[in-house]
Structure 1
Amino acid sequence: MSAVGKVSRVVPSSIGKLKELSWVNLEINQLQGLEFMNNLKNGTNLQKLSVASNQLEGEIPNSFGNFSVKLQVLYLGSNRLSGRFPPGIANLHYLSGLALESNCFTGPIPDWLGNLKTLQSQISLLEEALLDSNHFYAHIPRGLESLKVLQVLNISNNNLHGNIPREIFSIPTTRVVELSSNRLDGPLPIEMGNAKQLQSLHKKLGSAQLSHNLLSGSIPKSIGGLQDLQQLDLSFNNLEGEVPEIGIFSNITAVRIAGNTGLCGGAAMLQLPPCSSRRPSSTKHMVSVVLKVVIPFACIVSLAMGISALLFWRKRNERKSMSLTSFGRKFSKVSFNDLASATDGFSTYNLIGRGRYSSVYKGRLLQYGNVVAVKVFSLQTRGSQKSFITECHALRNVRHRNLVPILTACSSIDSKGDVFKALVYEFMSQGDLHMILYSTQNDENNSALIQIALAQRLSIVVDVAAALEYLHHNNQGTIVHCDLKPGNILLDDNMIAHVGDFGLARFKVDCTVSSSGDSTISSAINGTIGYVAPEYAAGGEVSTYGDVYSCGIVLFEIFLRKRPTDDMFKDGLNIATFVEMNFPDRISQVVDPELLENQNGISHETLVDMKEKDLECLHSVLNIGLCCTKPSPYERMDMREVAARLRKIKAAHLSSN
């Protein structure tokens, strides 16, 4: 039986009476509820079941293990299924194709993965086992060598840690192994270089496979001897040592190793630094002398000169800004007088925003295209100095179309002889998202911004997700924003969203959360109430999943036009639980009514019937918000998956209109 795109909401219970049914394909519908699984257990001849790309949510019932022992293919991908996968699947001895990708499954990858009799796919284009893009954690289970005919294994985009089991590369039929975006550590298995059958170590469309982990040690030279290896991506790990020059390593388009600062040598086209040779003992002695004597002496002299220079500079009323080479790129100099003149003496007329540690003024600097935003730090406020340094650090090397572009910085002395610090940004003409969401019709200056179409809101949330994806996974190291909210999201002339204000950011935090909640930085988060992840309030540690939670809250606010601090949210009810309570059947009652009104005067009731595609879009978007705001960080998506899903929803919405 095949009903792709033809079934809405609920599978009839009568399906359980079709005992001779061998094939059920209900992909790409709007199915809800899992009761049909209990009904299907009576189908003793069922061989294939596919309910991928629906709206199924909740935990798989334990009765799942009572399905027909003849079941060979099971596709449950792209739903919202959660919890631990029932161990009863181990009873399905003839299962040959398994797809659980893009759900919210959690817990360790079950041990049954190594106990299935024959895990391969009899579908010519889907010879794989897909468990990617979930929230599985702990180690990859041992015993995978029992999967004698496995060809493709994809467990990327989870929270797995520990070493890569060498058994993965001992399976004679394996062609594709996808382990990227986890927390796997330790060395690359030597067996990897012996996997003669391996053809690809990349995700779909050539994206990374072993990237964004914590792998260490050297790259086995034997990998270069794999003649059939077509693509290899080991980028953004902790690998070190000399890169082989043979085989795939001589093809710059087939190998990716960026983000491993300890690598050296290799083919010239890789542009790695040369590997240093061993120093003779006499050289080591000289180096020791330099380290113990010369350098400390130089530091003392430098410190004395620095103190003298500082005392001299503070006597001057006017001073050009420092070089700010710590930003990682060269900025032209700007002085206190330049900024004071640009903002009419920092007049209240030019004041466009005020925060905890700073005030923002609109100004005019001809060298930066006329209109700019000048962020002046209130250094008398405790924490503002740290906020300035943090924001400088965050913006040092990052560049992205959805981050507020920094133009220059000023660390100088003002007209009173006091320390002055400011950052200069591109001016965002449309203001911040909070202002746009809550501007009133009586405000003549903003009347054109009140109507925000569904497509525009989609674009904004896609832009925000893209910015966070970059911050969490860029090649300069992980940055956790820690204070994402509409007031920190600015929009330019084209209504493109830009994330700004990095005064509370944290750096070099692990991109994922381990099963024990380990992280590299403890949280003393001073984020904004309503947007802060619950684990921070409980003293938990900073991780990128805190930003994911905030992104989900902002997403809800964009489409509901309700603040998370609204008076209605009390007594345990928050904006996330409010959406969950009304999802999926009553989403038309909770989203911003403007999204379901017709600009040509069509009634709300008529519009709901006419715009089913818009409601489907809203359903998909709010579903992502729910996955982002799970109480436990282990159960949330990461920003790569959030951004990818939102881009897909936006593309589908635009194509349908």
Structure 2
Amino acid sequence: MQPLFLLFLFSFASSSRLAENEVDRLSLLAFKAEIVTDSLGNLSSWNESLHFCHWPGITCGRRHQRVTVLDLQSSGLAGHLSPHIGNLSFLRALYLQNNSFSHTIPPEIGRLFRLEELFLHNNSFGGHIPFNISRCSNLQYLDLYGNTLSGELPTEIASLSKLQVLDFGNNYFYGIIPPSFGNLSSLWWLSVFGNNVHGGIPNRLGQLKSLIHFSLASNYLNGTIPPSIYNLSSIKVIYMFQNNLHGTLPPGLGHTIFPNLETFIFDSNQFAGPVPASISNASNLLVFSISSNKFTGKLPSLARLSNLYRFSLFKNNLGNNEEGDLDFISSLVNCTNLEVLSIGFNNFGGVMPESVSNLSTKLRLIYFYENQIRGSIPIGVGNLINLERLSFYANLLAGTIPSSICKLNKLYGLDLQVNELSGNVPSSLGNLTSLSNLYLNSNKLNGSIPQSLGDCRFMLDLDLSHNNLSGPIPKQVINLPVHLNLSGNQLTESIPMEGGNLQHLVILDVSENKLSGEIPQSLGSCTSLTTLSLRENLLQGTIPKSLSSLRGIEDFDLSHNKLSGIIPNYLGSFPFLHNLNLSFNDFEGAVPIQGVFKNASAVSVVGNTRLCGGIPHLRLPKCISKQSKRGLSPKMNLIISISCGAVGLVLVLSLALLYQSRKARALKSTSGSSLGVSLLKLSYGDLLKVTDGFSASNLIGSGSFGSVYKGVLNQHEEINVAVKVLNLQTSRASRSFISECEALKSIRHRNLVKLLTACSSIDFQGNDFKALVYEFMVNGSLDEWLHISAQGVDRPANLPKNLNLTQRVNIAIDVAYALDYLHNRSHMPIIHCDIKPSNILLDSDMTACVGDFGLARYLQDASCPSPLHESSSNVIKGTIGYTPPERVEEICDPLIVQIEESSNSTNPRSNRRNHAPNDRRRTVVECLTSIARVGVACSVVLPRERKDMSNVVAELSLIRDVLTGTRMPRENL
């Protein structure tokens, strides 16, 4: 009897275990069902052919065969996190970081009482943190960095007594830091970086005696740092930058206070007073950065900081503009690991110390700009063989530019502008083949421009303006950079524009020289030009017809020359031209009235005595027709005068009545919103109609904050539009609406999606309604083209189903142009914050336009030399990745090489430069490697070290030229 009883118990236990295992299996399948994108195919084998414990990403316990670890990090997943995750009751670790999960974190996660590690960082989770996460009593690691979570920081977290890592960074939390966080006695990592948290730092955080990493940066914290914080003797890393904190640094910093300190970043606050001398005792210090504060006085000796990697004092009031201010430089000679030295925008005076030449040979970046430093540039600066960027601009340096600089073969940026340097521009600068930015403007340099600068084949910005340079402009130089400024010199002869790859030139300024001859016809091939200034020279002849191809021109200045002929009508067709100066020449005939000529404040034609017509505000005489010049009889003149007068009277009365009618209609119109400019006025009812009741058949897609529908507006003609309807139940949808309106109302670029209007109204049930109406992009999003399985894109029959490499590079260039405009050329720098394939839209000719500015942010601090300089962009969201260029064939889309090889064999023009398939393949691989390098340069950890978007445009353009055969491939493209 006993054996039967035992057998019964065993059978019952087995069936119970099987039932529990089945719960895990079904829960995993429910998890899979919520995934809409599985780009790496990790979930494809989650099926009946294999036990779930052997599915990719699953780890089970040996005894019960229950799921203990779910690891799908960096798997290219998109979708929602299923609430069935809460049924995996044995789960101890959940790793879903670096994916594209959206929606909310399900509250069912609070059931996982065995959970120890929860990593959800770098996704798109929104909403609030479930309050019942406090039931996960064994939780040790909670990492939610880089999502779109919002709400107040949950006080319930404080009950997780075993918590060691707590990271809320780069989200949208608001409110204050709960003082109860001070109860997390096991915590060694606390980060609330990059949120909207305000108020002061709670004194109780000083109880976290185990804390090693402490980050409250990029918030709205104010007040002083509580003294209790300085008792955290275990601290190694402390980030407090970009807040509104004030006060002074304690005298014992680095000695008795934070004796284990390795990283100390207090940039962009209101701290004042001296830098404590005790900092010299912080022998473990790697990074010390106090930029953008109000520190004063002299620096102590730093001789003991032998491990120092980065030292940044940028934008303070340090130094007294006297000798001895730079004595600390000599003490840095012992810092053999130093790579970054930034003391710009201070009040350091005295002579440039020769000891600069003896600094670490690992130095990559030296910024001494905007001080009062005198003397000459040390000849020994050539010893710093790893230097990549050297900036001494806006000081009082004199003497010549030392030729020893030519030894710095890794140098890509040399900025010596606004000093008192004299002598020639050294021809040896042509040896710096990596040089991409050279600024020597506003000095006292003389002699000719060396032709050897043409050997700097990666030159992007060359500014030699406002010196005493003479002689001709070398054609090797003018064909080289993207931005070229030679204004304010004594240059002579004609503008050499023959040959070369002029289509890369974006800015050309040769004004205030003595250039003669005619405007070159070949200037029309500079199709990327946005700024062209030829003013104050001796140019003659007419404006050539070839310039009609400069469709992207924004600023065009030909004033103060000897030009003649008529003003071409095509200037009025340039869509982006907002400043046209033709004054003080000898132009004749009628002034056009279309385009830029409609705006008198955007056009200047004064000093041209033979012009006529134009809009009334230009106050030019009326043009006289040829028939009037031949003369008519007095009787005929009288008849014409009376007739014209009568017609004119009728027209005036008609226009007056029309004006009053339109004004009355405008006063009656109250529906819709026009963002403060003359846009379409649409109500909720209008949008309901044009989208066929927001029908599912017109649904284009949906995102975090709403859905997008296709519609047709019947105005004077049918206009296809995309209507983005905000889901106002989502916590940040209203903020997204405001952000997008604020960003798009003041920017305009051919590579930005055009916003037609916005509607802020109520629906027929009385609920709030907000929508944005865009120009419809017929070829959908880049995401749909990159993923062949995507549906819903009506591709024209003449377009291939796959994008070849040249098309992809063209799209990348379009996006780079858009970002360059946002970062560097809009009235205030704008950071998009959400660049991804689904937000890049393609029009009928596959031109890419960037859309969705719901997360866009203005960069308020424009005082830095570059909008993205130093720590000013540390707040920006984004996922940082790394692609080793030497693995490019393994990680790129395999279709790319196949398509290129196929087109090479069928298209005879593709072999113009590459005569063999192997040559073509090698060219493609080299281009892919170069693209990868650009991507890596845009993704480096420190924002100020990332490649500027104007440089990205130029480098991608060069890569495209090699692909299309208009430029020969070269080593290390």
Tell me by how many angstroms 1:43 deviates: 2.1
* Structure 1 position 239, deviation (Å): 0.7
TM-fit CA distance, 1:571: 3.0
User: 1:168-179 residue pairs with structure 2 within 5 A?
Assistant: 168-179=229-240
Q: Partner of 1:243: helix, strand, or coil? A: coil
Distance 1:74 1:81 in 2: 14
Structure 2: distance between partners of 1:618 and 1:629: 19
Distance 1:199 1:9, change over 3 A: same
Q: Which residue is 1:255 aligned to? A: 311
Which ranges in structure 1 are unaligned for 5 or more consecutive residues?
A: 121-127, 203-208, 277-322, 366-375, 389-409, 417-482, 486-545, 582-586, 631-636
- The residue aligned with 1:70 is 138
Q: CA 1:599 to 1:611, structure 2 compared with 1: closer, same or farther past 3 Å?
A: closer
1:433-463 CA distance string (max 9 Å, x none): xxxxxxxxxxxxxxxxxxxxxxxxxxxxxxx
Find the partner of 1:617 among 827, 832, 836: 836
Matches within 5 A, 1:268-347: 269=329, 273=348, 330=466, 332=488, 333=512, 339-341=559-561, 344=564, 347=567
Distance 2:562 2:132 in 1: 71
Q: Is the 8 A contact 1:597 1:603 kept in 2?
A: no
Distance 1:3 1:109, change over 3 A: same
CA distance in 1, matches of 2:81, 2:309: 47
Q: 1:559 to 1:363 in 2, by over 3 A?
A: same
Q: How far apart are 1:232 and its partner, in Å?
A: 0.8
Conserved 8 A contact 1:47-1:72: yes
| Cα deviation 1:171-196 (Å, max 9, x = unaligned) | 12111101122222221233424235
Cα 1:249–1:13, aligned 2, differ >3 Å: closer, same or farther?
A: closer
Correspondence for 1:104 among 146, 158, 172: 172
**Residue 580 (structure 2) aligned to one of 360, 371, 374:** 360
RMSD: 5.6
Q: Does structure 1 residue 26 correspond to structure 2 residue 96?
A: yes
Q: Percent identity?
A: 19
**Counterpart secondary structure, 1:144:** helix
- Residue identity matched to 1:111: P
1:110 deviation in Å? 2.5
Stretches of structure 2 that go unaligned for 5 or more consecutive residues are 1-68, 330-342, 352-440, 444-463, 467-486, 489-511, 514-534, 539-558, 586-595, 610-674, 678-737, 764-768, 796-800, 812-833, 841-849, 859-867, 894-973
Match of 2:127 in 1: 58
CA contact (8 A) 2:282 2:305 kept: no
Alpha-carbon offset, residue 640 of structure 1:
1.4
Offset of residue 98 of structure 1: 0.7
Whether the aligned pair in 1 keeps the contact of 2:275 and 2:300 (CA below 8 Å) is: yes
The Cα of 1:548 is off from its aligned counterpart by: 9.4
Query: Which of 280, 289, 303 is the equivalent residue of 1:233?
Result: 289
Alignment CA distance shift 1:379-1:55 (3 Å): closer
Residue identity matched to 1:101:
G
Q: Which residue of 2 aligns with 1:310?
A: none
Q: State the shift of 1:236 in Å.
A: 2.0
Instruction: Specify the alignment match of 1:302 in structure 2.
Output: none
Shift of 1:75: 1.0
Call closer, same or farther: CA 1:558–1:34 in 2, change over 3 Å. farther
The answer for the alignment partner of 2:754 in structure 1 is 562
The correspondence for 2:263, drawn from 198, 201, 206, is 201
Are 2:312 and 1:267 aligned?
no
Alignment of 1:131-530 (within 5 A): 131-193=192-254, 194-202=256-264, 209-247=265-303, 254-264=310-320, 265-267=325-327, 269=329, 273=348, 330=466, 332=488, 333=512, 339-341=559-561, 344=564, 347=567, 349=569, 351=571, 359-361=579-581
Match of 2:115 in 1: 46
String of CA shifts for 1:486-526, please: whole Å, max 9, x gaps.
xxxxxxxxxxxxxxxxxxxxxxxxxxxxxxxxxxxxxxxxx
Seen in structure 2, the aligned counterparts of structure 1 residues 199 and 556 have a Cα distance that, compared at 3 Å, is farther
User: Matched residue of 2:781: which SS?
Assistant: helix
How far, CA to CA, are the matches of 1:562 and 1:165 in structure 2? 49
Give the letter for the 2:206 counterpart.
E
**What secondary structure does 1:190 align onto?**
coil
Contact 2:283/2:307 (<8 A) preserved: no
Q: State the distance in 2 between where 1:257 and 1:552 align.
A: 36
Code of the residue aligned with 2:82 in structure 1: it is P
By relative contact order (CA 8 Å, sep 6+), the higher-ranking structure is 1
Structure 1 equivalent of residue 5 of structure 2: none
Deviation per CA, 1:401-452: give whole Å up to 9, x if none.
xxxxxxxxx9xx9689xxxxxxxxxxxxxxxxxxxxxxxxxxxxxxxxxxxx
Deviation at 1:643, TM superposition (A): 5.8
Cα distance in 1, alignment partners of residues 839 and 319 from structure 2 = 42
Structure 1 pair 595/17, CA: closer, same or farther in 2 (3 Å)? closer
> For residues 623 and 98 of structure 1, what CA distance do their matches in structure 2 show?
34
Q: Which moved more, 1:228-237 or 1:15-24?
A: 15-24
Select the structure of larger CA radius of gyration.
2
TM-score, structure 1 as length reference: 0.51
For 1:175 and 1:134, the matched residues in 2 are separated by: 22
For the Cα contact (< 8 Å) 2:232–2:258, is it kept in 1?
no
Determine helix, strand or coil for the equivalent of 2:230. Answer: helix
Deviation at residue 340 of structure 1 after TM alignment: 3.4
* CA distances 1:267-297 after superposition (whole Å, capped 9, x unpaired): 3537973599xxxxxxxxxxxxxxxxxxxxx
CA distance in 1, matches of 2:81, 2:748: 29
For 2:761, the equivalent position in structure 1 comes to: 571
Shift in Å at residue 241 of structure 1? 0.8
> Structure 2: which amino acid aligns with 1:70?
N
Change (3 A) 1:39 1:142: same
Give the 3-state SS of the residue equivalent to 2:242 in structure 1: coil
Assess, with a 3 A threshold, how the Cα gap between structure 1 residues 344 and 153 changes in structure 2: closer, same or farther. farther
CA distance in 1, matches of 2:102, 2:785: 32
Change (3 A) 1:30 1:557: farther
CA contact (8 A) 1:227 1:247 kept: no
Q: Structure 1 residues 172, 607: closer, same or farther in 2, change over 3 A?
A: same
TM-score, scaled relative to structure 2: 0.35
1:598 CA displacement: 8.4
Code of the residue aligned with 1:29 in structure 2: it is N
Q: Which amino acid aligns with 2:873?
A: R
Change (3 A) 1:355 1:97: same
CA contact (8 A) 1:105 1:136 kept: yes
Whole-angstrom CA distance in 2 between matches of 1:562 and 1:158: 32
Deviations 1:331-389 (A, max 9, x none): 61467686232765994647469999973248999xxxxxxxxxx999997xx9xxx9x
Q: CA distance change for structure 1 residues 252 and 173 in 2, over 3 Å: closer, same or farther?
A: closer
Distance 1:649 1:160, change over 3 A: farther
Corresponding letter in the other structure for 2:130:
P
**SS in structure 1 at match of 2:214:** strand
The aligned amino acid for 1:198 is N
Task: Tell me if structure 2 keeps the 8 A contact 1:164–1:189.
Answer: no
Q: CA deviation at 1:222?
A: 1.1
